[in-house]
Structure 1
């Protein structure tokens, strides 16, 4: 008669000392696979290294003009804000290789970009001056009506009557 055994693979081995070698053999096989995998990984990295995941940080800044402030003062404040934003962007993330900033100014309800700055980390380390790397928008002054902020005198409250002209007489 046939007997059917339902047993685990380790109990099929009749000798207990062979069962001890079975687990050691599995550990050795795993070690061999790991030892083969490391040189293979090293070879693929040497042939085709991973691409560095660097990127550009983009920042949009908005500034409100203060009362009685002229355009040059607004530009100086914009440059100071840009300097801080660039340095902060590079300090916060080491993968940032470039920073791109646009500064817009609001003056009496009108909004216009006044400057943009594009700089790499290497350039900023060499010369950390926003005036060197900034591009200024020439039309911003007129768009924000900084040129026409001179106060015009009020027209006279009394209007002069129109002058009457008499047609020339023909004699």
Structure 2
């Protein structure tokens, strides 16, 4: 009879020891190695409106400057950001079209923070936005030859 009582008490005691060791092991692991941080891509979209009488080349330079600032701000603002995707959308008169997409990793940006190196340019944007040569009305009048 004493043996049967001892066996009944040993089984629950063994479960408690096993459960206790597992819990202590889990707590130590959680304290030493906390959960890994989740890295992610920051996505930024910026609209850029053309200035009166602005050339497409100048409009594109402004777009690059804005993309550069947005990428740098995204990396500086959050240490978990591993990649940045900046889309610049241009508006000229009533037309709207994408100008460039800057897609770069933190490591590449740190090594070479040059927008034109990492950006994808949309070749049809100048036509879509109807940036054309200055019209004749914007040209200074030509002087007539003396007769």
> TM-score scaled to structure 1, two decimals?
0.61
Instruction: Please say if 1:100 is aligned against 2:85.
Output: yes
Structure number with the bigger relative contact order (C-alpha 8 A, sep ≥ 6) is: 2
Aligned length: 119
1:39: which partner in 2?
A: 25
Q: Deviations over 1:40-69 (max 9, x none)?
A: 4456899x9845311111100011100111
Which of 139, 144, 160 is the matching residue for 2:124?
139
Residue in 1 aligned with 2:63? 78
Aligned with residue 129 of structure 1, among 85, 90, 114 = 114
TM-score normalised by structure 2 residue count:
0.70
Compared CA separation, residues 110 and 122, structure 1 to 2 (3 A): same
Question: Where in structure 2 are there 5+ consecutive unaligned residues?
Answer: 1-19, 138-147
Query: What is residue 151 of structure 1 aligned with on the other side?
Result: 135
The residue aligned with 1:23 is: none
Distance 2:31 2:118 in 1: 37
Is it true that 1:53 corresponds to 2:31 in the alignment?
no
Match of 1:26 in 2: none
- Identify the structure with the greater helix proportion: 2
Shift in CA distance, 121/38, structure 1 to aligned 2, threshold 3 Å: farther
What is the aligned partner in structure 2 of residue 12 from structure 1? none
Distance 2:56 2:49 in 1: 12
Matched, 1:65 2:50: yes
* Larger Rg computed on CA atoms: 1
- What is the deviation of 1:151? 2.0
* Structure 1: segments with no counterpart, 5+ residues: 1-32, 154-171
Q: Which residue of 2 aligns with 1:90?
A: 75
Kindly state the Cα deviation for residue 129 of structure 1 after the two structures are TM-superposed. Answer: 0.6
Aligned residue for 2:14?
none
Aligned residues: CA RMSD: 2.8
2:10 corresponds to which residue? none
